[in-house]
């Protein structure tokens, strides 16, 4: 019984050492496609599981698993290996992006509708109530 506990402790110790070593190596991305690195513009700063990356300034996604861009084209979400001409001059290594965590569904439309419905809207068109003025 004691040797079994010693073995478990040893395995736990080795696992912790390996995790500490990996954490000190730099960025690690967990992807469903082993052996293919992420695109050059994607550099996470920790271990995380991410399938989609969203570019809010341009309103398109990149699917890290399928290696495709996902964007609206004529009101329909499409998947392409390259961006259309309207996006070609974008330097993705300098563009802002958001990691979409905990979403692995093929259909990005549902996620986009739930999380970006109010993005980009301003309250400038909302009428403001005027505060009552005090007269002297």
3-state DSSP call for residue 30? Answer: strand
Average pLDDT, integer, range 53-80: 92
- Residue 69, pLDDT above cutoff 90: yes
Burial of 71 (0-12, 13-18, 19+ CB in 10 A): buried
Q: What number is the average pLDDT over the span 18-45?
A: 61
pTM of the model: 0.55
Please state, rounded to an integer, the average pLDDT across all residues of the chain.
Answer: 76
pLDDT of residue 55: 93
Contact residues for 112 (Cβ-Cβ < 8 A; gap 6+): 61, 77
């Amino acid at each position: 019984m004691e040797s079994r506990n010693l073995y478990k402790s040893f395995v736990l110790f080795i696992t912790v050492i390996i995790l500490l070593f990996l954490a000190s190596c730099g960025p690690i991305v967990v992807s469903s496609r082993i052996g293919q690195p992420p695109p050059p513009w994607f550099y996470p700063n920790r271990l995380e599981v991410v399938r989609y990356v969203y570019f809010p300034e341009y309103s398109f996604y990149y699917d890290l698993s399928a290696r495709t861009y996902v964007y609206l084209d004529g009101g329909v979400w499409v998947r392409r290996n390259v961006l259309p001409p309207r996006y070609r001059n974008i330097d993705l290594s300098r563009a802002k992006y958001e990691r979409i965590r905990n979403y692995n569904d093929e259909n990005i439309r549902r996620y986009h509708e739930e999380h970006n419905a109010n993005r980009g809207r301003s309250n400038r068109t909302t009428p403001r109530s005027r505060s009552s003025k005090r007269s002297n």
